Amino acid sequence: MSNASVVGFAKWLGVKTCGGMAQAVGLKWPPPPAISLRNVLNRARVPLTPVDLQLRTVDGSWAVVDPNNAPVEVELNWTDPGAGTPKQAQWFELALTKRDTGEIWGGRSFSGNPGVIVGMYPMLLDLYTHYVWTIVAHNEWGVSPAATMNINTNKPAPPQSSSSQGSKPSPVPVTATGTLTLTLDTNNPLFQVMGVAWTVWHQTATGYGVPMNAYGIPGKMTLKGTGQYLI
């Protein structure tokens, strides 16, 4: 049967399809998909969904906040379940979206580490507003599924103290350009920039493979953790 056609072989095997021919000679049909070991390893390192989402006050007590009765300035905290494993996140992307309008606080998503503060004066969260906090983890192998928390802002901001406001009129805003490079280490793990308007900062911290981006807030920012910051 060296010159037999495919149709002839099928008739000889008593089948009418290629799949039937494969099964007739003991092969699995349909065949399993090809599996790439590289793809398996890459998938094994995709970060996990952040867990333990939590709000804390920024009044110095860092007390846990009920998300249904949140202040308009609050600290966001969470845990990376893949920390210390090949699934460890390299950076986190966050967004606060108004449920009723779809408007994103600050106009865009931002990056940050656990302990990032949102709603700092004068860019407070809107009072009596329902926000949805969304967070995903990133690393070079992919993006985690999103974790979410519903937040209702029912506590107004504390009044600005007279000592901080003073009796003098507010100065005229000044627009400046340039950069500030700051290196934080274990001896200097916390730094604040007060009274400046800034737009974008990049962080390249120890163990991070890509820059971290976040929009700035006029007034104040707090940098935490080791690494180098370009503002």
Over residues 111-129, the pLDDT tens digits come to 999 999 998 766 789 999 9
Q: How is residue 43 written in tokens?
A: 């998938």
Cα–Cα distance for residue pair 132/96, rounded to 1 Å: 6
The mean predicted confidence, pLDDT, of the chain is: 74
Confidence at residue 215, expressed as pLDDT on a 0 to 100 scale: 37
pTM over 0.85: no
Cα–Cα distance for residue pair 205/197, rounded to 1 Å: 23
Q: Name all domains of the chain by residue range, CATH numbers in brackets.
A: 6-32 (no CATH), 51-156+174-230 (2.60.40.10)
| 212 band by pLDDT with thresholds 50, 70 and 90 | very low
Cα–Cα distance for residue pair 34/190, rounded to 1 Å: 50
CA-closest candidate to residue 108, choices 217, 216, 215, 198 = 215
Confidence at residue 11, expressed as pLDDT on a 0 to 100 scale: 81
Give tens-digit pLDDT for 151-200: 999 988 666 544 444 444 433 333 334 445 555 555 544 444 443 334 33
Residue 178, Ramachandran bin (φ over 0: left; ψ between -120 and 50: alpha; else beta): left
Average pLDDT over residues 134-146: 96
String of DSSP letters for 39-86: HHHHHHTSPPPPEEEEEE-SSSS--EE-GGGEESSEEEEEE-TTTTST
Confidence at residue 6, expressed as pLDDT on a 0 to 100 scale: 76
Give tens-digit pLDDT for 16-47: 888 888 888 888 888 877 878 888 888 899 99
Give tens-digit pLDDT for 218-228: 333 444 444 44
Give tens-digit pLDDT for 85-100: 999 999 999 999 999 9
Is the pLDDT confidence value at 58 over 80? yes
Residue 103, judged by CB atoms within 10 A of its CB (0-12, 13-18, 19+), counts as: middle
